[in-house]
């Protein structure tokens, strides 16, 4: 799965959208759910460090078992130190990719699709992590 840069978070205007505190069942909605508790700014929810955050659009199917599908927007934080198991944006062998990072027992970039093989990172090879994917924005309604 590849990633294409689509923008940086930077300084963005706050946009408050109503947030209903009742959880939404996957069945018939409760009549009490029209009670609004507060507002929610999606930047507040998705962007913890605006100066270090950027957005990329996913390409390919290697991360579908992680809930990342072609065309999804990934929120990436460069300020986070990548840990074992994180989904990262990485450059390896001259390609930018989205994969789960494994650090033990050996360093590998692991696709989340059984049809794709893990990519071992040999000792001494150049692997650059461009950030940790913190949020996936997946549109249910296609254009």
Tokens of 63: 């991360």
3-state secondary structure of 77: strand
Give me the residues paired with residue 29 across strands.
none
Share of the chain above pLDDT 70, in %: 74
pLDDT at 18 over 80: no
Q: Is the peptide bond before 105 cis (omega within 30 degrees of 0)?
A: yes
pTM comes to 0.77
Q: What is the pLDDT of residues 23-64, one digit of tens each?
A: 556 655 556 555 556 777 788 888 888 888 899 999 999 999
Q: What are phi and psi of 129, to 5 degrees?
A: -95, 120
7 pLDDT exceeds 90?
Answer: no
CB 2 within 8 A of CB 59: yes
**Domains of the chain in sequence order:** 2-10+49-137 (2.10.109.10)
Helix, strand, coil share (%) of the chain residues, nearest 5: 10, 40, 50
Q: What percent of the chain has pLDDT over 90?
A: 55
Find where tokens 């994969």 sit: 99
Q: What is the mean pLDDT of residues 135-140?
A: 92
Looking at residues 1-14, what average pLDDT do you find? Answer: 61
Question: What mean pLDDT is reported for the chain?
Answer: 84
Question: Which residues are known to be catalytic?
Answer: 62, 99
Q: Distance between CA 36 and CA 33 in Å, rounded?
A: 8
**Residue 135, pLDDT score:** 94
31-35, 39-43, 91-95, 113-117: range with lowest mean pLDDT: 31-35
């Amino acid at each position: 799965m590849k990633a294409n840069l689509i923008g940086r978070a930077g300084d963005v205007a706050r946009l408050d959208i109503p947030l209903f505190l009742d959880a939404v069942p996957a069945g018939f909605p409760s009549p009490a759910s029209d009670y609004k508790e507060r507002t929610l700014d999606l930047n507040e929810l998705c962007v913890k460090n605006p100066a270090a955050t950027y957005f990329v659009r996913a390409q390919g199917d290697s991360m579908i078992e992680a809930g990342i599908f072609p065309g999804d927007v990934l929120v990436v934080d460069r300020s986070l130190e990548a840990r074992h198991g994180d989904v990262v944006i990485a450059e390896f062998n001259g390609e930018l990719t989205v994969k789960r990072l494994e650090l033990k027992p050996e360093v590998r970039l692991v696709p989340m699709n059984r049809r794709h093989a893990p990519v071992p990172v040999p000792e001494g090879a150049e692997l650059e992590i461009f950030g940790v994917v913190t949020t996936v924005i997946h549109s249910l309604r296609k254009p």
